[in-house]
Structure 1
Amino acid sequence: MTTEQPRLMRAGQAMAIATMVSRATGFVRTLALVMALGLGTRLLDVYTIANVTPNVIYELVLGGALASVVVPLLVRAAADDGDGDLFAQRLLSLVVYGLAAVVMATIVAAPYIVDFYAPGFNAAQRHVAIVFTRYFMPQILFYGVSATLAAVLNARNRFASPMWAPVANNLIVIATALAFLLLGGDGRLDSLTQEQTLLLSIGTSAGVAAQMVILAVASRGAGFPLRLRADLRGIGVRRIAAMAGWTLLSVVAAQASFTLVTRLTSKAGPGAVSVYTNAYTLFQLPYAVIAVTVITGILPRMSRAAAENRLTDVISDLSRSLRLTAAMLAPVAAGLIVLGPRLTTLLFDHGNASPAAARLTGSVLAAYGLALVPFAGYQIALRVFYALGDTRTPALASVGVSMGFAATSTVAARFFHGPDLVIALAACNTLTYAAGFALTVHVLRRKIGRIDGHRILNTLTRILAAASVAGVAAAVTVHALAPAGTAGSLLAIVTVSAMLAGLFTLGARVLRISELNALTAALRRTSH
């Protein structure tokens, strides 16, 4: 084992803590919204579609480029002239001017946007969705400014602040949900008052605005002078557009998949949209805490190594990232598969939520659990291409994944309906991300010659074996425990999680998975 493994993990500890707090408050936010608006209700479906739409439009217009292209550009701009402030200021100005225009256009086009994403909504749902959407559209600008400032901080090796900022967003939305309950909100669309509508609309967008303000303060603290510039010359708009062009294709492909999901789930019955969305949110938690932490820390390193033509270091970072991430995520994936319905019953079966919808969310989560490791591996592999300045290959890979999902989900929609379709859609994602990971790694190997493939494959095989044995034993135990319900679910989660962790650790030691030893050592150092 090299000394880089513990160094990488130590560098990621602060980010992991910030991400865990952010995601923990994010879950409290999800729980608060479910209690207030009611999982399985038409109101939560309307709120979900309206609140996700600004994210979708932002990603289509700019988000993909900012996420994967701008950090390497900022790093190289600073390396070229020793001061990337002017470049960053012009970039921030471009984002503000461009997205402000997008906000105004989308507010006007709100009815058409709602009709496009949710053709299954009835007249009452459509009306409320349009109102929400118009209030939520300024979030597009807030997201863009936040992402730009986060990229500036990451390029300066300030990783923790951008991960703390969403906490403010979550806390404000939690307060909004609680205030909605205090105003007598019961989760019924037909009883929603104008005051309640304004509270949800303004409170939700205020959360995103607060996130932006915190990043602005952090940027000033890092020495970045916040200033909008009228002169955008020298920013290399054509270069950014050329690099982001392929990224935009990737984003369009991903959003096409999202659109297909929302259109299908909006027709799958009341609550189907929010069931699918909440299952995906749960699925994203371990990915965000573990894989996103690794990706955020490794991208600037790989970008610098690629810029200096240190290909061996790029390969080393890729191999280490894949192996460590898989070792951490595999037992979590087994837990999601085995405990999905128990976990969501414990989390969501409260307030205005429907018990049946809570259990369905768990079944969708279990199907998503199978995708956790390949999805993380796929995302890590894509970052290598971005570090090498190649945005074309990730875009084509994303198109391939999206086409695979479109094909499998279209077939699934012919054979499954209602709740079964929602579960089938999550399974389709699993299949396509597994294929996408395999294909991306193959293309990457052909591009750079070698990727430490034998070691990666050997480690992933042993990790999968240890997780599978532990998962089977955990599944048998779950069926032997008390039936689902809040108390039974809590008992199952505590008992089976401990068993699964213990069995996976034992299996990892028997199979000599060295990454587990590195993780254990890092945790011991942290505790001291």
Structure 2
Amino acid sequence: MNGGLYRSTHAAPDGRPPTQDGVTVVSVEETGPEQPGQSSSSGSTAGQSAIMAVGSLVSRVIGFVRNALIGMVLGEAVGDAYTGAQFLPGQIYELLLGGILSSVLIPLLVRRRKADPDGGQEFTQRLLSFAVVMLGLATVLVVLAAPLITAIQTSGDTTTPAFRELVTDFSYLILPIIFFTGVSALIGAVLNVRGHFAAPMWAPILNNIVVIAVCGVFLLVFGTDKDLTPENISGAELTLIGAGTLLGMVVQAIGLLPALRKVGFRWAWRWAPRELGLREIGHLAGWMLCYVGANQIAVFALVRALNTAGGEDNPGALAFNNVFLLMMMAHGIIGVSVITALLPKMSAAAAEGRLAEVSDDLSRGIKLVTAALAPIVVAYAVLGGPIAVLLFEGGRITNADALAMGTVLTVAAFAVLPLSISFLCTNVFYALQGNKTAALINLPVVAVRIAGYFVLAAILDASLTAAGMTAANGVSYLLSALISLAVLRRRIGRLNLGSVAASLLRVAIAGAVAAGLAVLVTRLLPGSGAPDGRIEAIVQIAVGGAVILIAYIGMALLLRVGEVSQVVGMVRRKIGR
């Protein structure tokens, strides 16, 4: 869900071009003839990548501001109810359209754009007309079923009737987001296959700005003097936040319309579902629906566990989601960038049967991702408390609440690398046209994830539930990576695992040295790893971060970690120039 909500990891994170079987859709030249009003320069891969990278970074920063303000405005208890209600449209959108869009509909639009004399214009109009109607009907049915859905999601001995009722009330206001999220995604797909990536990347910023403005109005009108709880939140307070969240998604969808005109696409109502080839679409979408459905069952179990454990004194859905955003930021900026760069090359090699090259690229990708993410992992593990205090403390989020989020972030640090490696392996399957294999691997992984949720929720103290859910995710990512590597070894042969293991060991040693030095240094600073306020947090992050970066790079160079040496050499050459 745009605006920074937990999403299943099959979905392409922000900034990644759509892919089918690993083939990245990158330019007008690749997707068909230039249409009226379409700039030929939009096909520049390098230019589009830069725009997407900047848009992704800006969007994530503003998203953090948004989430921090939500926490300050609502506090932990009401914030958990709000976040739980926000999970629902994300889950349902993923089931209806999320995975199918990237794996089926975008490639279908690409093929029709190449084959049809009008560049796929009429087919796209038919598809949009059908999708808008189906999204509208689905959204109405889901809104009507909101009490039943939230009752299942929030059932538990520790959830109060007031909390369950609040989640339902928020859901009535927020669930219509499903429709506008779907429309926004469909417009983005139309733009992407026409070589335009900028608008879909920047549009979520409009969403975040609207919600930030709504939070500002809330603070001005209602203040933070009242201890906001599910029992005492007023109808006006609930409506302002819920309707404001919906308004943000509406503005995001509307913000994409000018870009459609820019690429020469004209909207026209064409109701002809029989001419869409729905049977073919359904067949192609089957395995992806299996993949997505399994993930959404896991998300449902996750939200139920978090709602059961969360409360005024325990980090719940709000804390988990804030930390998940930080984890996905590291994965999105580093992991996805590496994957996006390698994927076209791997796809071409796979299509021509050059499996040894696919294996080499996979090994190279694992090494690059690990070397680049290691210092971020160390920073999250050692500086989790200061980072959480800096980003989330304020308003109704106390220092203790922020430090509790820091504990969750420390656990999340160990999930970042398995997430990126498993994501890389999944995309190798797509490059090999192995969607079915990826879906089948995902089934036992999700089963382990859900089992971890229930077991850890049962044995851990409620204050550690969010950390436990994060740990369960990490274990499932690791399992996914291990199973995927084993299957890929049988599929494409030698994976150079000896070389990969040696590189991982050197990176681990460099990271451990950096972590040890950072722990020693931060313990000597005011706050001693648990800062009391943003000033102490900033000092710890600045000093500890510098120690981590210098120590990691120094040790990596000493241990001859090739990927780090290449980056350092490139920087030196640029400075020399």
Pairwise same-fold verdict (TM > 0.5)? yes
Paired position in structure 2 for 1:16? 53
Paired position in structure 2 for 1:67? 102
Once the two structures are overlaid, the 10-residue window that deviates more, 195-204 or 80-89, is 80-89
Against the structure 1 CA distance between its residues 172 and 125, is the aligned structure 2 distance closer, same or farther, given a 3 Å change threshold? same
Q: Which amino acid is 2:139 matched to?
A: V
- 366, 372, 380: which one pairs with 1:328? 372
Against the structure 1 CA distance between its residues 292 and 184, is the aligned structure 2 distance closer, same or farther, given a 3 Å change threshold? same
Contact in 1 for aligned 2:71/2:318 (Cα 8 Å): no
Deviations 1:7-52 (CA, angstroms, capped at 9, x unpaired) = 99887443222111000000000111111111x2x21111111112
Once the two structures are overlaid, the 10-residue window that deviates more, 334-343 or 61-70, is 61-70
Q: How many residue pairs align between the two structures?
A: 520
Paired position in structure 2 for 1:194? 235
How far 1:407 sits from its partner (Å)?
A: 2.2
Paired position in structure 2 for 1:92? 128
Distance in structure 1 (CA, Å) of the matches to 2:232 and 2:343 = 49
Distance in structure 2 (CA, Å) of the matches to 1:228 and 1:515 = 52
Q: How does 1:486-501 map to 2 (within 5 A)?
A: 486=533, 487-501=535-549
User: TM-score, normalising length from structure 1?
Assistant: 0.90
Against the structure 1 CA distance between its residues 518 and 221, is the aligned structure 2 distance closer, same or farther, given a 3 Å change threshold? farther
How far 1:340 sits from its partner (Å)?
A: 0.7
2:205 pairs with 1:167: yes
Deviations 1:109-146 (CA, angstroms, capped at 9, x unpaired) = 01011111111432222223222211212211111122
Paired position in structure 1 for 2:331? 287
Q: How does 1:23-422 map to 2 (within 5 A)?
A: 23-38=60-75, 40=76, 42-80=77-115, 83-120=119-156, 121-186=159-224, 187-271=228-312, 272-295=316-339, 318-422=362-466
- 544, 552, 555: which one pairs with 1:507? 555
Once the two structures are overlaid, the 10-residue window that deviates more, 110-119 or 451-460, is 451-460
Once the two structures are overlaid, the 10-residue window that deviates more, 273-282 or 333-342, is 273-282
How far 1:99 sits from its partner (Å)?
A: 1.2
How far 1:246 sits from its partner (Å)?
A: 1.3
Against the structure 1 CA distance between its residues 269 and 76, is the aligned structure 2 distance closer, same or farther, given a 3 Å change threshold? same
Identity %: 35
SS in 1 for 2:538: helix
Q: Which amino acid is 2:563 matched to?
A: E
- Structure 2 unmatched runs, 5+: 1-43
Once the two structures are overlaid, the 10-residue window that deviates more, 237-246 or 48-57, is 237-246
SS in 2 for 1:189: coil
How far 1:523 sits from its partner (Å)?
A: 6.2
Q: How does 1:436-451 map to 2 (within 5 A)?
A: 436-451=480-495
Q: Which amino acid is 1:389 matched to?
A: Q
Once the two structures are overlaid, the 10-residue window that deviates more, 153-162 or 380-389, is 153-162
Once the two structures are overlaid, the 10-residue window that deviates more, 178-187 or 73-82, is 73-82
Contact in 2 for aligned 1:143/1:212 (Cα 8 Å): yes
Distance in structure 2 (CA, Å) of the matches to 1:457 and 1:90 = 51
Distance in structure 2 (CA, Å) of the matches to 1:227 and 1:318 = 44
SS in 1 for 2:372: helix
Distance in structure 2 (CA, Å) of the matches to 1:444 and 1:217 = 44
Contact in 2 for aligned 1:136/1:201 (Cα 8 Å): yes
Against the structure 1 CA distance between its residues 427 and 443, is the aligned structure 2 distance closer, same or farther, given a 3 Å change threshold? same
Distance in structure 2 (CA, Å) of the matches to 1:126 and 1:175 = 27
Against the structure 1 CA distance between its residues 377 and 74, is the aligned structure 2 distance closer, same or farther, given a 3 Å change threshold? farther
Deviations 1:462-485 (CA, angstroms, capped at 9, x unpaired) = 333322221222223223322221
Deviations 1:442-493 (CA, angstroms, capped at 9, x unpaired) = 2123223355555544433333332222122222322332222123222111
Q: Which amino acid is 1:430 matched to?
A: G
Q: Which amino acid is 1:63 matched to?
A: G
Contact in 2 for aligned 1:408/1:428 (Cα 8 Å): yes
RMSD between aligned residues: 2.8
Distance in structure 1 (CA, Å) of the matches to 2:169 and 2:129 = 29
Paired position in structure 2 for 1:3? none
Once the two structures are overlaid, the 10-residue window that deviates more, 217-226 or 329-338, is 217-226
SS in 2 for 1:366: helix
Against the structure 1 CA distance between its residues 440 and 389, is the aligned structure 2 distance closer, same or farther, given a 3 Å change threshold? same
Distance in structure 2 (CA, Å) of the matches to 1:453 and 1:32 = 45
Contact in 2 for aligned 1:50/1:133 (Cα 8 Å): yes
Deviations 1:135-180 (CA, angstroms, capped at 9, x unpaired) = 2122111111222233333334433432212111111110111111
Contact in 2 for aligned 1:12/1:293 (Cα 8 Å): no
Deviations 1:266-321 (CA, angstroms, capped at 9, x unpaired) = 22141522122222122222122233344456656665665666656655654444
Q: Which amino acid is 1:492 matched to?
A: Q
Contact in 1 for aligned 2:68/2:393 (Cα 8 Å): no
Against the structure 1 CA distance between its residues 300 and 220, is the aligned structure 2 distance closer, same or farther, given a 3 Å change threshold? farther
How far 1:497 sits from its partner (Å)?
A: 0.5
SS in 1 for 2:508: helix
Against the structure 1 CA distance between its residues 417 and 16, is the aligned structure 2 distance closer, same or farther, given a 3 Å change threshold? same
Distance in structure 2 (CA, Å) of the matches to 1:14 and 1:522 = 22
User: TM-score, normalising length from structure 2?
Assistant: 0.83
Q: Which one has a larger percent helix, Structure 1 or Structure 2?
A: 1
Distance in structure 1 (CA, Å) of the matches to 2:486 and 2:49 = 28
Once the two structures are overlaid, the 10-residue window that deviates more, 126-135 or 300-309, is 300-309
SS in 1 for 2:155: coil
How far 1:349 sits from its partner (Å)?
A: 1.9
Deviations 1:384-440 (CA, angstroms, capped at 9, x unpaired) = 223433321121222222111122333223321211232222122212211211211
Once the two structures are overlaid, the 10-residue window that deviates more, 185-194 or 490-499, is 185-194
